[in-house]
Every structure is written in structure tokens, then in C-alpha cells.
Structure 1
Amino acid sequence: MTSSIENQIRFLTEKVETLTAEADIRRVVSRYMLLCDVPLPEPGMTTENRIGAIVDLFSDDATWEGVGSYYESQFGFSSGRAELIKHFQGFFHPREPEMLLNCHYLTSEHITVDGDRAEGKWVHFQPWIFSDGSSVLRSSRLFNAFKKVGGIWKMSRYRTENVFIAPLTPGWAENIPKESVLSGTRAVG
């Protein structure tokens, strides 16, 4: 009888660890997407702090790469903390036309956990709206890897490939905010 109870406890412990890992990984990916949104839904965060917060979601030896004929040339390959910082500096560096909106929507999630390692797949959509009136809707597939570093789940590989890019008609979106107030300090009440 004791062996049966021990087996059940072991089974339940493994299930809880897997579910906890999936939830932690989901939070890492969601945090990454939120930090990449424009306007940033965290008022007062500097570009340097934003890039630091993004890179902190990755292991020190992580890679970030665009794959396939379109994304390989657009996004390239970065490896390690210094290259990831440079990659995101290039993305968030002011440019013309200015990006007014970039919002990430994730779907088709599939996370597989194997001890202190995991892989996750998603499809994601994001509208990009620029100050010159141009807009596109992007769809990508993500093939990410994760590992525990000091007991914390980190991305060890971010890999994205283009599904499609669709130009949108100018003016398709209205009332685009210049800043997000959602995460402000207003009291609930």
C-alpha cells in the first residue's frame, strides 16, 4: 500500500512540476511580447531598461534568429547577451517612419517540458502601424527553447519564421494611443 501511495505522490509531484513549468514559460513569453509592444504598456521605462528587461528573459548563451528567406535577411542571427542587446537596440532605435503601434497576439500554443529543459511553439500575429500611414499585419511561427537557470525559466532559443506579411489599407485603425496607461499607478477603487 505504501508503494502505491508513494507512486501516486511521485506522479502528482511530476504533474505539478510540469504544470508549473508551463505556466512559468508562458509568463516568460508573455512578458517578452509585452516588452516588445509599442507603445510600451509600462510607463516611464527607458529604452535601455526595456532592452535590459527583455534580455534578462534569456539565458546568457541564448540565440535569437529569423529563419527562412524573408526573416533570415530581415532579422538575422544573434547569440549571447551582447549580441541580443545589439539586436534589440537596433529594433528600438528611433527611425523614420516612427513605429506607432506593434501589438503581439499569440495563439496555437504547444509547450513540452522535459525536466529543466522545454520547447514551445506558437503562431503569432502583430499589426505594425507607422507614422507615414503605412501598416502591415505580420504572422510568424515561433520555435523557442527554454532552460532553467538558477531555478528560473529563461529562453535559450528564440526562432521565428514568416508565415505572411499583409499590407493594410492606410487608416484601417483609429484612435491609436501615443502611450499606454493600463499599467499606470492609478488606484483601484
Structure 2
Amino acid sequence: MAHDDIVAALTERLEVLESEAAIRRLQARYMFLCDTPCPEFGVEDDADRIERVVDLYADDAVWEGVGEYYDGQFGRAVGKQAVREHFQRFWGEKRDPALVLNAHYLTSEQIHVDGDVASGQWIHMQPWLYSDGTALLRSSRLNNAFRRIDGVWRITRTRTENVFVADLPRHFAGAFPSTSVLMAPSASPHR
């Protein structure tokens, strides 16, 4: 193989690896922003959180729940404004009992990059804990799509399908934060 061919092949492989890493961070950031309490430092309120989530999406993005359980529960939102409205319904409505804990755990990752488009599949689990002590565990499959726009990867499709929902014992979590300080600036010299 000629030197120029080797450099071209290595450059292509490096671009795929960098794209996979960027998509992995993008998907993880989405999940991070969806956690309750929100661990992102400086998020002023749920409206600010929603805008940070929506900023991860392309203008023509689709967010959808699919399958017999999520189809009716989540439906389909097309375009950034519809995605924004989806999250406004979720975080904008006061619920009783209130959601006090929700954390997303991603696993079984597969990312497939083809130039400026990509897809990714994950399974995720998330415990939900409510203010009255009731709790459940959700698991979903994700089949998401991404596009590089002006050099930045954006989500073009979030598609989630229920795997299961299981009730957890009341008060299953004995200790959990009311707010997150994980990302707060620290006075410690060991930041």
C-alpha cells in the first residue's frame, strides 16, 4: 500500500473514531440533562434545561415513542419546536406525586458512522422515585440517528421502545439528593 493510501485510510478510520466519540458524548449528555435532579451546573430551571436538550437536536429532528406501550404514551414530535413542546409537557406540568429521582443508565451500545450521518442503538434503564415513596424501573431500547451539521453532531431522531416497566418496593432508595452539586465549582484544590 502506498504511503498516501495508508495516510488516507488512517485518516478515515480516525474520523470514524472521533465521530463515534462525539456521538457517544452527545447521547450521554442528552441522558444527563434528562436526569432528576438535573446534574448540569448552572441550569436555572426546567425551561433552561429544555433549551439545553433541544439544542442537541437538528432543526428537522424527530422524537418518538414506538411500540405497543410507548406509542400512545409518548407519540411523535417532528421539528425542534415540537420536540421542545414534548419536553415542556414532561417538565412543565406539576405532578402529584412529584418525580424526585430519575437516572439514566446506558448499555449495549452500537454506533454506526457513514460520513456525516450515523445511527446508534442502546438499551437503557432508569429508576423513577416519586415524592410519595412509590417507585418503578423502566427499560427501553433506543434506535437514534445523528447528522453532522456545520461540523457538529446533532440528534436527528430519538426513537424509544419499551422493554419493561417494573414496580419497585416503596422507598427502595434510602438516600438521594434533592439537588445535584456534582458539576458545581468546588473550593477544593483537587478539581
Partner of 2:66: 67
- Which runs of 4 or more aligned residues in structure 1 lie more than 4 Å from their structure 2 counterparts after TM superposition? none
Contact 1:119–1:146 (8 Å) recurs in 2: yes
Distance 1:157 1:43 in 2: 26
Q: Counterparts of 1:130-141 in structure 2 under 5 Å?
A: 130-141=130-141
Contact 1:43–1:179 (8 Å) recurs in 2: no
- Greater mean alpha carbon deviation, residues 43-52 or residues 71-80: 43-52
Whether 1:18 and 2:19 are equivalent positions in the alignment is: no
SS at match of 1:177: coil
Q: Counterparts of 1:82-101 in structure 2 under 5 Å?
A: 82-93=81-92, 94-101=94-101
Q: Show structure 1 runs of 5+ residues with no match.
A: none
RMSD: 1.0
Letter in 1 for 2:141: R
Could you tell me how far 1:172 is from its partner in structure 2? 1.1
Partner of 2:144: 144
Partner of 2:123: 123
For normalisation by structure 1, the TM-score amounts to 0.96
Distance 2:162 2:150 in 1: 33
Q: Show structure 2 runs of 5+ residues with no match.
A: none
- Greater mean alpha carbon deviation, residues 118-127 or residues 86-95: 86-95
- Greater mean alpha carbon deviation, residues 42-51 or residues 145-154: 42-51
Contact 1:111–1:118 (8 Å) recurs in 2: yes
For normalisation by structure 2, the TM-score amounts to 0.95
Whether 1:39 and 2:37 are equivalent positions in the alignment is: yes
